Amino acid sequence: MTDTAQLHYNGQTIDLPVVVGTQKETAVDISKLRAESGLITLDNGYGNTGSCSSAITFVNGEKGILKYRGYRIEVLATKSTFVETAYLLIFGEMPTSSQYTEFRRQLVQHEFIHEDMRHHLDGFPPNAPPMAILSAMINAVGCFEPVFMQPEDDEHFMKPAARLMSKIRTIAAASYRKSLGKPIVYPRSRLRYVENFLHMMFSSPYEPYEAPEAVVEALDRLLILHADHEQNCSTSTVRMVASSQANLYASVAAGVCALWGPLHGGANVAVIDMLQGLVDSGEKLDRFIARVKNRDAGARLMGFGHRVYKNFDPRATIIKESCHRLLEKIGVDDPLLDLAMKLEEVALKDPYFVERKLYPNVDYYSGIIMRALGIPTDMFTVIFAIGRLPGWIAHWREVHTNTNARIDRPRQIYIGDTVREYVPLEERG
């Protein structure tokens, strides 16, 4: 028998079904609440609202658990590759070797962007933010390809999924080259996914860049760690746009915009700006922490805190270790890493952060890895987007294959004026 929760209101008792997920997390299903009572729920920032049921990713914020399709992130980060993890997220199963080969073949097949897309790229000013370019260009891909709307079928869905995953890295690298005023570098089919991206970023026509294995490994792992995170801001955006039955490109382009903000994917840039600001100003860490606690001019410890993780972010633990390993292997000594560790130590001992359960999140150390890879700060959030793309594709597909799906359309409590009289312009003074 299913449990119910009861709500007593206005002399009426309303029974609300309790829904239990496969990991025993529970929710009160309020879908009939308004019809039965006239009430809606109000949940600022959706901290208590389940917007959907999903079989893609599980997060337990109290225990610091993250799983994609039932596989623990620690296992995927050490044993899988980004391409394999992407396949898992999108199709729900680990690929067989022939499926993996086919997926990789399609990634290679779609790595070029249409020549007219290059003219589109030329239209952006040289200092255009790469996230703006990425979003616009992803939406534009939809104008150059037939829009695919039958996501039920694995075999056919592989093509649009591989096409988008392949092109996003070509677009990202091209936007970087353009920002430097350098010629675009064409992809090389024999290279692996991450290697090919690094080649398009850093090779020049006369000097191919060959990425050291430690660099490829570190970036591949970083992408795995970013590949999905259930109903975060950008993924919820993709799902909301998808709920109107918008196509994959339009939905993902919207997700890129949501990711851009400094409270979400843009935090990796904000962390480096914060650390560099501390180096440049010479401000003592205690004083900075005091400013954060006082909220002086909106001061915040960027890369700390998370809506869901209230113990530790498992991705941050892996990234911190990965960061140390990479810097040691490639012989980079970054003063910002030492500073980040000192700042973390000071914050984790401070009651303000302890009481509010604020810990380093995925963005705290990821910027330091990217700096070591030679990736400029304004490309950090673009790398996050490349990593998050398989998750967005998987969620878009889940929305489009849900036969019970409805358009997302939240309600509100109106707090504006009630009725106002229109006064003609000449009488308003």
Decide if 237 contacts 255 (C-beta within 8 A): yes
Total number of residues that touch ligand ACO (CB under 6 A): 19
Q: Is 267 in the site for ligand ACO (CB under 6 A)?
A: yes
Where helices occur in 92-204 by DSSP H, the ranges are 97-109, 115-122, 130-144, 154-179, 193-202
Active site annotation includes 220? no
The C-alpha atoms of residue 343 and residue 5 are separated, in whole angstroms, by 45
Q: Is 291 in the site for ligand ACO (CB under 6 A)?
A: no
Q: Is 348 in the site for ligand ACO (CB under 6 A)?
A: no
Residue in the shown chain whose Cβ atom is closest to ligand ACO:
305
- Of the candidates 226, 313, 363, 400, the residue annotated as catalytic is 363
Q: Which of 114, 192, 307, 324 binds ligand ACO (CB under 6 A)?
A: 307
Q: Is 67 in the site for ligand ACO (CB under 6 A)?
A: no
Q: Which of 365, 352, 388, 313 is nearest to 61 (CA)?
A: 313
Distances from the Cα of 130 to the Cαs of 174, 275, 281, 324, 378, in angstroms?
Answer: 10, 22, 28, 28, 7
The C-alpha atoms of residue 116 and residue 237 are separated, in whole angstroms, by 29
CB of 163 to ligand ACO, least distance (A): 26
**Closer to ligand ACO by Cβ: residue 30 or 358:** 358
Q: What is the DSSP string of 264-287?
A: TTTHHHHHHHHHHHHHHH---HHH
The amino acid sitting at 341 is: M
Q: Which of 134, 218, 358, 383 binds ligand ACO (CB under 6 A)?
A: 358
**Closer to ligand ACO by Cβ: residue 158 or 292:** 292
Active site annotation includes 114? no
Q: Which of 114, 159, 264, 310 binds ligand ACO (CB under 6 A)?
A: 264
Q: Which of 302, 337, 389, 394 binds ligand ACO (CB under 6 A)?
A: 302
The C-alpha atoms of residue 83 and residue 107 are separated, in whole angstroms, by 9
Residue 168, token pair as written in the block: 């996003």
**Closer to ligand ACO by Cβ: residue 196 or 361:** 361
Q: Is 359 in the site for ligand ACO (CB under 6 A)?
A: no
The C-alpha atoms of residue 201 and residue 183 are separated, in whole angstroms, by 10
Q: Is 319 in the site for ligand ACO (CB under 6 A)?
A: no
Q: Which of residues 22-61 bind ligand ACO (CB under 6 A)?
A: 45
Q: Is 344 in the site for ligand ACO (CB under 6 A)?
A: no
Q: Which stretch binds ligand ACO (CB under 6 A): 71-79, 194-202, 301-309, 418-426?
A: 301-309
The C-alpha atoms of residue 315 and residue 114 are separated, in whole angstroms, by 36
**Closer to ligand ACO by Cβ: residue 156 or 356:** 356
The C-alpha atoms of residue 134 and residue 120 are separated, in whole angstroms, by 12
Report the catalytic residues: 306, 363
| Interface ranges with ligand ACO (CB under 6 A) | 45, 263-265, 267, 292, 300-307, 356, 358, 361-363
